[in-house]
Amino acid sequence: MSAVPRQPFLDPLYGSIALDEPLLALTRTPAIQRLRHVRLSNIDSIDIPAIANLSRFEHVLGVAYLASEAGFRGGLTPHQDLVLRSSALLHDWAITSFGHLVEEALQYVGTRFNHEEKLAQILLSPQSSEIGGADLQILVGRESKLRDWARRYGGGSGQDTLTDVMDCIRGRGMMGQAIAGTIDLDNIDNVFRMAFHMGLSVDREVPRRLARAMVGLGANRSSPLFRRSAEDDIQAWRNARRDVYEHLMLSERDFTGKLMMLFAAIRAFEANEITNDDWSLVDHEFVMRLLGSSTSDVTEAAQRWIAGELWDRTPLRWMSGDRPSYPALLEFSRRLGEVLGRPCLAYGIKDKRDRQLSIEYDDGTRAVYGETPNQWVLGVGSPRRERFTSAEVRRVIEEAVIQFSTEPLGLAEKREHRVAQESLF
C-alpha cells in the first residue's frame, strides 16, 4: 500500500510546508480550524492594512514548521517529537477573538481571564462535557476533537499526550522553552510574519536559520542552546521585534480602534451580553454579538469602528513605571468621566520593543542583550463627538500621575514621526 501523500500548505515566509499525517490530522480538528477565523493582530488594522485579517492559523502552521526544523529534533524520542510539533500547532487554540483584545476586556472587568489558564483547564480536565474537558464544543457546535486525535496518535487514553503538550505550551519541561521562552519558535515566527506582512524589510531565511541553530535544550535553561554562529540572526530578530512593536504600539488609529472595541466589550459584559463562557467566539461572531446588542453604547462603538468613524483621543504619552492593571485602568476611566464630564476609557500598553535576553551558546559562552523598558503608553478615548481640549489633556495626565504614581515622559511617536518633526528645525 502506498503512503498517504502529504498535503502541503503554501506559506508566505517558508514556501511549501508539508506536514506528516499526525500533524495534518491535527490541523483538521475544529480546535485548529477555529484559528482560521481569529486574527493574529489584536485589531482589524487601519494603519497597517495587510495585517488586518492575518489569521492565527497561518501563524501556528509557521510555528509547527519551525519546530520541524529545530536543530535539537534529532535527539528527541518519537513521543517528544510529536509533543513538540503539536504544541507548536496548539499553543494559541484557546485565544479569544481579536487576539488578546477580548481577553484584555475580560480582565478590565475583573474576571482574570487568561487564555493559557483556560487552555490548561480544558486540556487537563478528565471531563468530556461541553463545560470543560478536551471535548468542549469549540466551533459551530463541533467538539474540539483533541481527545480523539491524542488517542489515535499518542496512544492509550491520549491524556498523557495532552498533559505533555500543555506542559510544553506553558514553557515547562525539557522542550518548553522552545515554545514559550524568552526567544522561542512562537515569537520568532510571530515577529517575522508580522514584519513581512507589514511591508518591513526582513530576511525571510532568518526564522528558519534560528530554528536550525537551536541545538540543545534543558529544563534548567531560560532559553534553548544556540550555535555561536546564530548571533547575527538573533540580533536581526531583536531589530525586527523592535520595529514590529513600534508600529503595533504606536499606530494611532489602531490604538483608537482598540479603545472603541474594548469599550464595547466591557459594556456588553456589564450588560451580561458577553460572559467568560464566550471566550471561544471567533472574530465575526464577536462582532455580530456587539452589533446585535440591545445596549446603545455597545452598538454605537462597534458600528463607528467598522465605519472608520473614530473617537477622539488624547495624544499618546509615555508614562514611567509598570503599566497599571486593567481594573485600575477601568477605575481611572470612571474617575476621568466624573472629572471631565464625559464618558472615557483609558488604555495602556507596556513598552515591548525590547527586553533583556540571556543567550547560551554551544561554545560555552553566554551573552546578555538589551534592557527591559520601564515605561508604558497611555491614551484615553471618548465616544463624545467633541475633541479633548488642552486643559482636558493636561487633567488626564495630572490624574494619571496621582492615581498611578507615575510620571509623563513625553509624546509616544513612531521614529519616522520624530525624525520628520526634528527635520523642521
Q: How many CB atoms lie within 10 A of CB 25?
A: 16
DSSP reduced 3-state for 157: coil
DSSP state of 361: B
Beta-bridge mates of residue 358: 368
pLDDT given for residue 223 in this prediction: 77
User: How confident is the prediction along the chain (425 residues), in pLDDT tens digits per residue?
Assistant: 334 445 789 999 999 999 999 999 999 999 999 999 999 999 999 999 999 999 999 999 999 999 999 999 999 999 999 999 999 999 998 899 998 899 999 999 988 777 777 777 776 665 544 344 667 788 888 888 999 999 999 988 888 999 999 999 999 888 999 999 889 999 999 999 999 999 999 999 999 999 999 999 865 666 799 999 999 999 999 999 999 999 999 999 999 999 999 999 999 999 999 988 888 899 999 999 999 999 999 999 999 999 999 999 999 999 999 999 999 999 999 999 999 999 999 999 999 999 999 999 999 999 999 999 999 999 999 999 999 999 999 999 999 999 999 999 999 988 764 433 332 22
pLDDT at 112: 78
Nearest to 203 by CA among 214, 191, 215, 186: 191
Q: What is the pLDDT of residue 117?
A: 74
Is residue 209 within 8 A of residue 236, CB to CB? The reply is no
Q: Which amino acid is at 340?
A: L
Which grid coordinates belong to 292? 446585535
Q: Is 419 helix (H, G, I), strand (E, B) or coil?
A: helix
| CA 23 centroid distance within chain | 22
What CA–CA distance (Å, rounded) separates 36 from 58? 8
The total of other beta-carbon atoms located within 10 Å of residue 286's CB is 24
Beta strands in 99-230 (DSSP E): 137-139, 142-143, 214-216, 225-226
Would the CA dihedral through 208, 198, 417, 302 be positive or negative? negative
What's CA 166's distance to the chain center, in Å? 18
DSSP 255-304: HHHHHHHHHHHHHHHHTTSS-GGGGG--HHHHHHHHHT-S-HHHHHHHHH
**Cα 302 to Cα 291: distance, rounded to the nearest angstrom:** 6
pLDDT of residue 136: 77
Cα–Cα dist 39/96, whole Å: 10
State residue 131's pLDDT score. Answer: 46
- Residue 241 three-state SS: helix
Radius of gyration over every alpha carbon of the chain, rounded to an integer in angstroms: 22
Give the side-chain half-sphere CA count within 13 A for 370.
21
Under a CB-based contact definition with an 8 Å cutoff, are residues 269 and 106 in contact? yes
DSSP state of 219: T
pLDDT at 423 (0 to 100)? 29
CB 198 within 8 A of CB 254: no
Please give the pLDDT value at position 421: 36
pTM of the model: 0.92
CA distances from 78 to 63, 83, 102, 148, 161 (A): 19, 9, 37, 19, 12
Cα separation, 57 vs 39, in Å, equals 8
Longest distance between any two alpha carbons in the chain, whole Å: 78
Query: Minimal CA–CA distance to 395: which of 349, 350, 348, 342?
Result: 342
Q: What is the dihedral of CA 177, 181, 182, 186, to 10 degrees?
A: 110
**Structural domains in the chain, sorted by start:** 9-249 (1.10.3210.10), 311-425 (3.30.70)
